[in-house]
Chains A and B, each alone.
Chain A
């Protein structure tokens, strides 16, 4: 699986290297199914030794368990299924004695790790809150910068809303399609990105057919070259991103803001809400198709206003100074 965190790691390595440091990316395979394997995966990381490095930066569970006397965490993921997703019932850890023991072990391993690092940065306030709530650990906010921002210079505004990124139920592209059936006839939507499973792709195709939206909704499902993503972003009218309680700002929304595109999102999408201000840099609606449809209609009804909101979004984004230079500076300080 290659996702945002993996891209983040690649860009981090590249930018640390640009500052003249010698840097290596250590990828640790992690298989969390079945849950009984997790202890072994944790142990494998805990018992690794990195002797030649002056600094280790840990990103994800369980890789961040690798010991080192000078370690900082840039926390992308804890094992959420032991924390908030356990509480919400979305976990692969069984509610058995063994499951509770495993969850306790994950807590203990995290505790031991957090106690022995020099600094903890978190990629989002959501991550920070979770860390504080479950582990009683304070952290510093260090958002993920946009990768290759120079690619996303604003281009001409087009006639479609673009929704990029991985396709799955948690990203809720289906909500946008369901909304499109309630929108005016001149609206268009482009959904593009890799589906997590054939079922995820099929589901979107079926919805498009079911609501007869073939002429207004375009699906480009699969791994797309970066250039294609850049084209779709920089030629759009606006962007949409509706994940369920995502921790980060989301690359889709950051790229859109860099490209001066307003972003449509919903009020339970998590980190992105720090980026989207309703009616200023985009639209924030409840995750209901009709409410989302209303926002889409507004985007097309007053395109000049939409373009203005996109420009505001870019200004606000640049003001945040979430750049790789600043990020690396803090991590290797």
Chain B
């Protein structure tokens, strides 16, 4: 990677990302790439999807050149050597990020890590790429305690492992061992990344386009009924059950609120939630809209009186839906933990997991009693989120980080190369040579591992 030019000169940047219409990371990429271009940098987007033959048809419009990673696979070094820096967007799905992993191992760059929990990615990587069992690859990274947890959860991997226990046992090295530096989108996973990857790590809040949401007028008190909505694929992690229970426990809430859930939902879970709403002590007015188009989603946001952004566990690196919610100025209910802890308490209604239903009931009471203050709070949240999650802010901070990484990165690559060769030769970690090399590096270049 060439020397960082910060904002003083133009850099050539290769930006690996999924870039289909349906990808949220693609939407993020557009925001940041345009900001980087506005600062005078020359960006090329490299599409990272795996085997997407219809990629050209689904490609987003871009303000820069877009190339397919598959097309440069055979002459990768030649292609990427033209750039001053390479950025890899890594998330939790192999289909979207295959070439990020594959090319990062061959041509290290800076990783924008969208998810802390990469177990799905590891699972898919194991089966589709390595042709090995997930268990074997997981064992390479995890502790014996983690293996026991995995075994205990094996009866229901989806619910017990991926949605729950996996968060306690992060897997990062299989995907990011060669990275020069990592950007997290929330503070909570910066420290584990540093500990596991031994590279520079910084946190930059996710940039996300929310032009429509920012233009929405503040919500008005609902008439006979107010709407609380949840957005996104519907599963136990979204905590819809707790919202239904909180509304169903009170005649007042059930009468006042309609709960609208917008997102893809499986048949059995749909049935379960409907039964829960219908059989609650006080029947809950529940609408499960399923997957909707953009116009419908915008309409739902426009008419929402509150938005529930609950998660447990909080495993996302960042949440586009919370950014949209805050930008819409709608009173927002959020969980504690993970990326949600980065939001100041005075901008949201905080819901703890241990007393989730009770906290929700209290939040609904507050909303019912003083909706005016709730809206004022939402407007403040909009200002905060609009500044914090802009592409321009992201690009500025990213450029600073690239400058920080560019300095020590050749030294870190040297150290990494030493480690790889010695590992390949089965050298043990207590080989005196390792301390000698570290000493020489520090003596010659200063401590590249120092913050």
Contacts and interface: CB of A to CB of B under 8 A. Distances in A.
Contact of A40 (B414, B417, B424, B433): B433
B425 A42 contact: yes
Interface in A86-122: 101, 104-105, 108-109, 112
A43 B431 CA distance: 13
Interface residues of A, number: 13
A46 B418 CA distance: 9
B426 interface: yes
Given A46-B421, A47-B417, A101 B432 contact: no
Interface string B428-451: 100111001100000000000000
Nearest to B434: A39
A112 B433 contact: no
A52 B178 CA distance: 26
Nearest to B432: A36
Main secondary structure of the interface of A (DSSP, over half): helix
A46 B417 CA distance: 10
Contacts, number: 36
A105 B436 contact: no
B435 to A, nearest CB: 12
B427 interface: yes
A258 to B, nearest CB: 42
Contact of A108 (B418, B425, B428, B431): B425
A36 B428 CA distance: 13
Interface string B397-437: 00000000000000000100110011011111001110011
Contacts of A108: 424-426
A39 B424 contact: no
Main secondary structure of the interface of B (DSSP, over half): helix
Contacts of A40: 433, 436-437
A279 to B, nearest CB: 49
Contact of A105 (B414, B417, B427): B427
A56 B269 CA distance: 64
A40 B436 CA distance: 9
Interface in B215-261: none
Given A47-B417, A47-B418, A109 B425 contact: yes
Contact of A101 (B417, B421, B424, B426): B426
A105 B433 contact: no
Contact of A47 (B421, B424, B432): B421
Given A101-B427, A105-B426, A105-B427, A43 B432 contact: no
B361 to A, nearest CB: 63
A42 B437 CA distance: 13
Contacts of A36: 432-433
Contacts of A42: 425
A104 B422 CA distance: 11
Q: Give the most central of B424, B425, B427: most A CB within 10 Å.
A: B425
B443 to A, nearest CB: 15
Contact of A39 (B414, B417, B427): B427
A105 B434 CA distance: 14
A105 B425 contact: yes
Contacts of B427: 39, 101, 105
A105 B428 CA distance: 10
B178 to A, nearest CB: 16
Interface in B144-193: none
Interface in A16-71: 36, 39-40, 42-43, 46-47
Contacts of A47: 414, 417-418, 421
Contacts of B431: 39, 101
A307 B432 CA distance: 59
Nearest to B436: A40
Contacts of B428: 101
B426 A39 contact: no
Contacts of B432: 36
A101 B432 CA distance: 13
A199 B426 CA distance: 40
Nearest to A112: B424
A109 B417 CA distance: 14
B377 to A, nearest CB: 58
B422 A43 contact: yes
A42 B427 CA distance: 12
Contacts of A39: 422, 425, 427, 431, 433
B292 to A, nearest CB: 53
A78 to B, nearest CB: 15
A43 B432 CA distance: 13
A47 B437 CA distance: 13
Contacts of B414: 47
Contacts of B424: 108, 112
Contact of B418 (A43, A104, A105, A109): A43
A169 B65 CA distance: 70
Contacts of A43: 418, 421-422, 433
Contacts of B421: 43, 46-47
A15 B102 CA distance: 43
A101 B422 CA distance: 11
Contacts of B418: 43, 47
Nearest to A67: B421
A93 to B, nearest CB: 14
B437 to A, nearest CB: 8
Contacts of A104: 425-426
B415 to A, nearest CB: 11
Nearest to A97: B428
A156 B291 CA distance: 102
Contacts of B425: 39, 42, 104-105, 108-109, 112
B227 to A, nearest CB: 63
A203 B436 CA distance: 41
A126 to B, nearest CB: 26
Nearest to A106: B425
Contacts of A46: 421
Contacts of A109: 425
Interface string A150-167: 000000000000000000
* In the A-B complex, the 4 residue pairs with the closest CB atoms: A105-B425, A108-B425, A40-B433, A39-B433
Interface of A: 36, 39-40, 42-43, 46-47, 101, 104-105, 108-109, 112
20 contacts: A36-B433, A39-B422, A40-B436, A42-B425, A43-B418, A43-B422, A43-B433, A47-B417, A47-B418, A101-B427, A101-B428, A101-B431, A104-B426, A105-B422, A105-B425, A105-B427, A108-B424, A108-B425, A108-B426, A112-B424
Given A39-B433, A47-B421, 11 more contacts: A42-B425, A43-B418, A43-B421, A43-B422, A43-B433, A46-B421, A47-B417, A104-B425, A104-B426, A105-B426, A108-B424
